[in-house]
Amino acid sequence: MDLLFLSRRIFLGDGSQDDATLQGGIIVDTEGIIRKILRTPQEVNTHLYNTESEAVYDFGDLVLMPGLIDTNVHINEPGRKDWEGFVTATKSAAAGGFTTIIDRPTNACPTTISVSALKAKTSTARGKIYIDVGFWGGLVPGNRDQLQPLLAAGVMGLQCSLCNAAPPVGKEEFAAITESELKEAINLVDNEADVVLAFHAELPVLKEISASADSSPKCYSTFLTTRPHAMEVNAIKLISQLAIQNVRHRFHILNLSSAMCLPLLKDAQQKGAQLTTETCPHYLSLSAEEIPECGTEYKTWPPIREKANQAALWQELRTNGKGAEAEAEAGVISIISSDHSPATPGARCLTYGKGRGNFLQAWPGINSLQLSLPVTWTGSNEREKCLTLADIHRLMCLEPAQLCGLSSFKGRISEGYDADFCIWNPDEEFTVAAEDLLASNKATPYNKRRLKGVVHATVVRGLHVYQQYEGFGQPLGKVLLRKSRNKVVKFVRM
């Protein structure tokens, strides 16, 4: 028997409503697929009168929109489960309204740079995940023989870094790739259909910048000077050049911090490059000026920069106009993702002792997956609602689905799509309590902040995986693997 989901504020995200919501219902079949959309109260009443549903879920005045998708999450299992594991990461995601996340290849042990490592990931994930999870494959020096097998095995794309990973991961586990190695990799996958090459875009400057001898490692400005805008600018110059030279291929910039890169990205797009970019909630909401001494929970790569840097990032997020006009006016940043990367207090230099609060030694990563939606929505409201509900959908649902090739069954509420829903109250406020976060490690720069936007429920393929005050259902999330046959890309719901 079918399920029926009701709300007086349904946002379909199918292009038919702009920013408007409708009062109606969504009929979901026993496979978790949307069978029909009821667009008026009259259609709902007629359906209820004529048809018996297995269950009816009425969310009243809460917004019911497509489930959020995060393309940039570090799940460190196997190997570093104490940093973040599949159970805790997917619970965090579900509590934040996310129904699909894509795992980065960098911090597990082994890193996802081979088919055997991917199989270790997927076998560990099954039976533990509360939402759907896909995987990036790693591109590092020396794994050229694994690139095509990884793509054939189902990764969403290949991710590399232009700088070595931070200790304890380091270059031994996930080394930086050089320009020549990158060009060779592009040639190797030249015949693969719709491959995405994703980048952590920081390129070390020619002369390494070190903190001055008289500066304190417990002061954020000391760390910030070691990762200047130039690292991102130089990386974007290289990637843009490659994207312009290889217009058949898709290039994607992960966690962009520096607004100085925006003109370079725009120029590459205007020259025909298939180049997309994402930024993160922490770059939109936090600034270097507010980071306290010893506040290593704020440290990440690329770094959180000065407040003046934020305005340009926000400007690039909003699309004005409609249809072809909107395309012309769209900013170069098309996705907001978390870059969620918690670590143990020791790695974060948050334990008591001589090393506490050392920005130069602390692991770089922000614990934010559960809070991405309210942090972004709060920031928008502080800027006189810079973003609309349609913008949130585009940046956190639609574009992420398109990047990873999921847009044929995820990212919108439409007949034949997965019944993935985020149910939330955009007007309700709450105060962040670190102990309430579901990540393996609780330290977060948002602790005690007042945020707007509360997730009440998350539904994956018609199943309630999270309900506020009631907790979680069963871990029934699925591993998403991409299958390619005869250059036709298909995704299988496994």
Considering the chain, what percentage of its residues have pLDDT values greater than 70?
Answer: 94
Q: Quick check: 164 pLDDT over 90?
A: yes
pLDDT in tens, 338-374: 999 999 999 999 998 888 999 999 999 999 999 999 9
Give pLDDT, residue 52: 77
The fold adopted by the segment(s) 3-64+418-473 is Urease, subunit C; domain 1 (2.30.40)
The fold adopted by the segment(s) 71-403 is TIM Barrel (3.20.20)
How many angstroms from the chain centroid is the CA of residue 397?
10
- Give the Cα separation of 369 and 391 in Å (integer): 19
Q: Which residue has the tokens 């609602």?
A: 385
Whole-number average pLDDT of the chain: 92
Q: Which residue has the tokens 């760390």?
A: 223
Q: Quick check: 325 pLDDT over 50?
A: no
- Give the Cα separation of 96 and 332 in Å (integer): 25
Give pLDDT, residue 353: 84
- Give the Cα separation of 462 and 317 in Å (integer): 31
Ramachandran class of 8: left when φ > 0, alpha when ψ lies in -120 to 50, beta otherwise: alpha
Q: Quick check: 285 pLDDT over 80?
A: yes
With beta carbons less than 8 A apart as the criterion, state whether 216 and 224 touch: no
pLDDT in tens, 381-392: 998 778 999 999
User: Can you give the residue ranges of every domain in the chain?
Assistant: 3-64+418-473, 71-403
- Give the Cα separation of 364 and 6 in Å (integer): 42
Give pLDDT, residue 331: 79
> Residue 16 has what DSSP assignment?
S
Helices (H), 155-273: 170-173, 179-188, 220-224, 229-245, 262-270
Q: How many residues does the structure list for the chain?
A: 494
CB atoms inside a 10 Å sphere around CB 321: 11
pLDDT in tens, 6-18: 999 999 998 776 7
Query: What DSSP line would sit under 418-453, residue for residue?
Result: B--EEEEEEEEEEE--GGG--SSS---TTTT-EEEE
pLDDT, average across residues 177-181: 96
pLDDT, average across residues 461-488: 84
Q: Quick check: 304 pLDDT over 80?
A: yes
- Give the Cα separation of 183 and 398 in Å (integer): 30
Q: Which residue has the tokens 């719901």?
A: 493
CB atoms inside a 10 Å sphere around CB 255: 24
Q: At what angle do helices 262-270 and 229-245 cross, to 10 degrees?
A: 10
